[in-house]
Structure 1
């Protein structure tokens, strides 16, 4: 697990020494991703530079150092991640004449490029990765990302310089960096509390989509122009493997498959452990780890003192049953207050899944004991675990009757109607303000106007039903929830929702949250559920096999119950929730009030100050819980303050 960055383009930042100084600065900005070692590589003829920071996991010697050149010198790579099948690939490559000096997966990747070419080699890699690869013979630069999007990769033009890297803070160290706010990203932030790929918060900078690569001809680079990414693997092609499964047969197959995957992902030359929440996903991974381990597995969980948010007791019960070496941390409001100011530095752009707080804190605790931690992420998306799935399908079926009632009600609520008059017409909304009722109506109107299940889902998971309600400028860019579905995924059933989550929520929320939080602590995380063999198997299962009424993950549960008693697991799904609503009225109130100060909002020119303040006051009153709607705005405001408001405001006013 590491971090990388680099640049190319018509304009270079000076002499060779000056270019290497810039590369070292870009690497130093992501020191947390690789505190063990670092290196740079620059080729003046190619006008290309690579920087690397190393977190040593496999082959701790200098033979694993990067940037690394292939045996012939044709390829040079700067790589972040792990290739779990590197040992079998190495054996295969040795049989056709490849020679190796060390035993790192990076060296195996380079030999694979030499033997098979870049695209074919990508299809052979089983792992999590992002990399920049120079082909010195073809004078090309390749940027690539793993199948499910576990590892990040940003890229784009700033002036006449092409920049790329693992995190935005590395790109910002280049002298061509402009850092202008991408206003088109803000409506997406309001909708989903994140900025989905391919967008970023900065104009001209993009996220490479999962399972994609781009190839750039270094002799033909044109500032501002980028090639369309190519796909080397397609999720939709995994959706039907043509096999009929029974629950018992599917569970046995999944258990064997996960055992193999966990065995691959427990390979490490440094201490290793696992996150354990006590839920189905993490408990399954830990159970299979402990089954194969020769000593107690180190497990880590986090808890809350607030009622309704604490899963630590369940994690402790599972750990006790499995016999793991368990450590837990209870989070307080003060922990949150101390961490919140650091979130902009950790995430580089506004990111507002509030479970980022406990994710960082459990990573920080875990890193004190181990360098690698396995996680149970991905189980909900792959095995129908979200409780919203059946409720959304029911809502989609009933949308017609709801839409007619809504249309009638909306016609009775003209603009300017007082709260008293509205409540007289809508008795069920007694106690709510006029604006709160209008907000609810706007949400319902957006949902019921959807013409496809995909659009119904997009509106249902939008925190702000209409971003224009709060934004001065509100044009939205396209992203994963707006595109048409491939032919293999009909827009009418449960797999539609799974497809959408796997293509945007998983990589843009869950995996982003885990990667940045863990790497900020120099902790490598591995996610067995996202091995592409598990993904392919899960997508080939009929949805009915996983969903029993309102309870999903039946196949995965069946695996777990072979190792952990049902009574320790069977309970309502809780999720990794955070009591941020109460914290905003308590320990975080002063911080939020400063960021949402009316004059500040008006001066910055991004938000409609009156609307934002109305929502804030409604939340403080306790009449409404607008914590999700506010957290995205607060994360932008905190990010804006952290990035230097003077420069950003200057570019904003001149736009």
Structure 2
């Protein structure tokens, strides 16, 4: 797990600056503090750099990237992990391939030379983002894993394609300027992003399951985008309905295999553990597969309503795990808010991102580099309350009045803390999403429902620029109708979440960015694509049975889970909002005074200072309904995040900051 960077010039004779490549690696030193490398052969117009976190093949001289292979034809740099790579290495070795390292990364260039890129991607299993340059073809490939677990950003300047693992890596190139994009700003304020876009003008993401093929001719770039994988739920005609035990056993088998593969490392591997069945299932399987007790890391909040530590402790005891509990309070969360935005490079609606950054810091302090996590389970097995709501509204046939009332009661009672965030406060309908999906999924409604607040928050000039902009339409345009047509409503709801909130939130500010901020690799076993492809075949009525979400997963893990966990309904994991704690609220106001005062807001020209004051007053009013306060809390966090993005990336010269960082590290060429 590392950080990668690269520069592809529009002409081979245009030299790529060695120090700029190294600076790009230095600005993301947190992703790879163990070593660095760069490669920019003469008269090729291509260079890559790499900051290394050693997990597989700890020998620093052998494991250093970028790889420069096949007589110099291939330059390759990779961030992530490939699982089952030993088998592939064995098969390639039998065919006469010679490997220079024991690294999992080296399998890609060897596969590519034999099979080509499209066929190579079918063999890759894991979380990854990489760049591969083929000099003979004069082609650069940029590839991102199927779910977007690992990040990969890119931009085009007058003379170069610049790419890297983080936005700041791209901004470290002298030709790239940080400018907050108006549309990106709007989406920062409402939480949900348009797939492939960022907060910064001209800076894009390689979308999950996609490959960019970039060639050059006569000083021009040709960029082809290819989708090589997507979450493909079968249509009713394609779906087979087998007995329950087939699906239960299939989930158990595939998940165990995914966990076993992710325990492979040359360093100790721990687990994140909350009070949900997802992380508990991972810990249970990891403990069963390991000869030694697993170290389990748990976050504890100073609010009984939001804290799950006691339930996590019951699971830790049941498995014999060594539990390590990090207790967090309100002061600590907002004290680390600014640092979190530097790493997430997007706004956050809740300080859970801060809590996870602090947890990854703690994990590294006790000398762990790798943890297994439970992300992806809710996406595959329909765990979120929004999915239950959509199943009830659009996917349940034959419910009588009594059953319908019980559904509504159960949903509202068990998730009342999250109305306005995880569940919509009011119904929001996007006509364009309705046209594409058939309905507006409940998972998007809380965020699209913030659109009116977001418009009022915009600087008047930007508000006028976006007067006809409909965020739902922009999202709908990025959804692939081929994977929505004729699907069950629950399939559609899960697909939309996977394409928006999973990649844009859970795997970004809830995953890679706050984990790698402290040089720690998280491995989400549920997002193994073999498991995901099997999960897609599970009938909707087995993903949600009655009012019980994740039914198949519960049954598959029944023997591992204590009764309280097996029977527990989904409880969304988030930190207590600021308005629930006076000390936390005062911390938030203090940060606004420092970074988002009326003067600073006017100077930046992004946010309307008067409406920010209006929201502050609403939040402090005892007459404001609880669900409104949850929504306003999220929006205020986004406003603060926008101003911190401006502070970190627009007010500062990132290329100079990267150069200074390289000097401090002694990375001078």
TM range (shorter): 0.7 to 0.9
In structure 1, what is the equivalent of residue 40 of structure 2? Answer: 42
For 1:189 and 1:500, how far apart are their aligned partners in 2? 18
Aligned-residue offset at 1:353: 4.5
SS at the partner of 1:23?
helix
| Higher RCO structure, 1 or 2 (CA under 8 Å, sep 6+) | 2
Q: Deviations over 1:475-516 (max 9, x none)?
A: 457654444553443366111100101111111110112100
1:336-347 to structure 2, matched below 5 A, reads 336-347=333-344
Give SS of 2:545's match: coil
Q: Using the alignment, how far apart are the partners of 2:550 and 2:449 within structure 1? A: 26
| 1:533 and 2:530 aligned | yes
Q: Per-residue deviation at 1:470?
A: 2.4
Q: Secondary structure of 2:567's partner? A: coil
Q: Which residue of 2 aligns with 1:455?
A: 440
Query: Residues of 1 paired with 2:233 and 2:109: CA distance?
Result: 28
Match of 1:585 in 2: 585
CA contact (8 A) 2:210 2:227 kept: yes
| Shift, 1:577, TM fit | 1.1
Cα contact 1:9–1:160 (8 A) shared by 2:
yes
2:228 corresponds in structure 1 to 232
SS in structure 2 opposite 1:45? coil
Which residue, 298, 315, 318 being the options, matches 2:315?
Answer: 318
C-alpha contact 1:90 1:108 (8 A) present in aligned 2: yes
Q: Deviations over 1:602-650 (max 9, x none)?
A: 33322233322211210122443110122111110122122344889xx
1:10-29 superposed matches below 5 A: 10=10, 19-29=17-27
Q: Distance in 2 between matches of 1:199 and 1:530?
A: 22
Pick the aligned partner of 2:451 from 465, 470, 473.
465
Asked if the contact 1:275/1:375 (under 8 Å) is kept, the reply is yes
CA distance in 2, matches of 1:637, 1:576: 26
Question: What is the alpha-carbon distance in structure 1 between the residues aligned to residue 130 and residue 313 of structure 2?
Answer: 38
The Cα shift of 1:335 comes to: 1.1
Match of 1:167?
Answer: 166
2:541 maps to 1:544: yes
Alignment of structure 1 residues 138-537 onto 2, 5 Å: 138-191=137-190, 193-220=191-218, 222=220, 227-236=223-232, 242-369=239-366, 370-394=368-392, 444=427, 446=429, 451-452=434-435, 453-455=438-440, 457=442, 458-466=444-452, 467-471=454-458, 472=460, 473=462, 474=466, 475=469, 479-483=474-478, 485-489=480-484, 490=486, 493-513=489-509, 514-537=511-534
Give the C-alpha shift of residue 585 in structure 1. 2.1
Measured against aligned partners, the alpha-carbon deviations of 1:56-94 in whole angstroms (never above 9, x if no partner) come to 111111222100123443211010001102111112212
Return the TM-score normalized by structure 2: 0.84
What is the match of residue 637 of structure 2? Answer: 631
Q: How far has the Cα of 1:395 moved from its partner?
A: 5.3
Alpha-carbon contact 2:429-2:440 (below 8 Å) kept: no
Give the secondary-structure state (helix, strand or coil) at the position aligned to 1:587. helix
**CA contact under 8 A between 1:480 and 1:503: conserved in structure 2?**
no
Q: Equivalent residue for 2:420?
A: none
1:3: which partner in 2?
Answer: 3
Shift of 1:237: 6.1
1:374·1:526 contact (CA, 8 Å) conserved in 2?
yes
Instruction: Look up the SS of the partner of 2:554 in the other structure.
Output: helix
Equivalenced residue count is: 602
Aligned to 1:651: none
What are the Cα deviations for residues 380-430 of structure 1, in whole angstroms up to 9, with x where unaligned?
Answer: 0100101122224545699xxxxxxxxxxxxxxxxxxxxxxxxxxxxxxxx
Deviation string, structure 1 residues 530-579 (Cα, Å, up to 9, x no partner) = 01001101111111011022321011111221112222443342222111
Q: Does 1:575 align with 2:560?
A: no
Distance 2:554 2:562 in 1: 11
Change (3 A) 1:611 1:96: same
Q: Secondary structure at the match of 2:232?
A: helix
Using the alignment, how far apart are the partners of 2:595 and 2:64 within structure 1? 43
Match of 2:605 in 1: 605
Check conservation: 2:139, 2:213, Cα contact below 8 A.
yes
User: Where do 5+ consecutive residues of structure 2 fail to align?
Assistant: 397-422, 655-669
Measured after TM superposition, the shift of residue 442 of structure 1 is 11
**1:314 Cα deviation (Å)?**
0.8
Q: What is residue 81 of structure 1 aligned with on the other side?
A: 80
Measured in 2, the distance between the counterparts of 1:239 and 1:153 equals: 32
Cα distance in 2 for partners of 1:304, 1:206 equals 35
- Matches of 1:571 and 1:388 in 2, distance apart? 17
Task: Report the 3-state secondary structure (helix = DSSP H, G, I; strand = E; otherwise coil) of the residue aligned with 2:306.
Answer: coil
Asked if the contact 1:374–1:525 (Cα under 8 Å) also holds between the matched residues in 2, the reply is yes
Aligned to 2:92: 93
Q: Is the 8 A contact 1:34 1:522 kept in 2?
A: yes
TM-superposed CA distance for 1:113, in Å, is 0.9
**Contact 1:52–1:66 under 8 Å retained in 2:** yes
Q: SS of the counterpart of 1:134?
A: strand
Structure 1 residues 229-280: Cα deviation after superposition (integer angstroms, max 9, x where no partner) = 1011232266786432333221112111111111111100011111010211
Is 1:147–1:233's contact at 8 Å kept on the other side of the alignment?
Answer: yes
Q: The residue matched to 1:243 in structure 2 has which SS? A: coil
- Contact conserved, 2:548 with 2:569, CA < 8 A, in 1? no
CA distance in 1: counterparts of 2:70 and 2:455, whole angstroms: 56
The alpha-carbon distance between structure 1 residues 505 and 367, as it changes in their structure 2 partners (threshold 3 A), is same
- Return closer, same or farther for 1:446/1:88 CA change in 2, 3 Å cut-off: same
Structure 2 CA distance for partners of 1:71 and 1:441, relative to 1, 3 Å: closer
Q: Could you tell me how far apart the structure 2 residues matched to 1:235 and 1:183 are?
A: 31
Q: Distance in 2 between matches of 1:109 and 1:93?
A: 11
Shift of 1:180: 1.6
| Cα displacement (A) at 1:209 | 0.4
Contact 2:192 2:500 in 1 (8 A): no
For the Cα contact (< 8 Å) 1:26–1:170, is it kept in 2? yes
What is the TM-score when the length of structure 1 is the normalising length? Answer: 0.86
**1:311 deviation in Å?**
0.6
Which secondary structure does the structure 2 equivalent of 1:586 belong to?
helix
1:448 offset after TM fit, Å? 9.5
Q: Distance in 2 between matches of 1:173 and 1:447?
A: 38
Q: Distance in 2 between matches of 1:313 and 1:60?
A: 37
User: 389-398 or 564-573, which moves further after superposition?
Assistant: 389-398
Distance change in 2, residues 1:456/1:39 (3 Å): closer
1:30 to 15, 28, 31: 28
1:236/1:486 contact within 8 Å kept: no
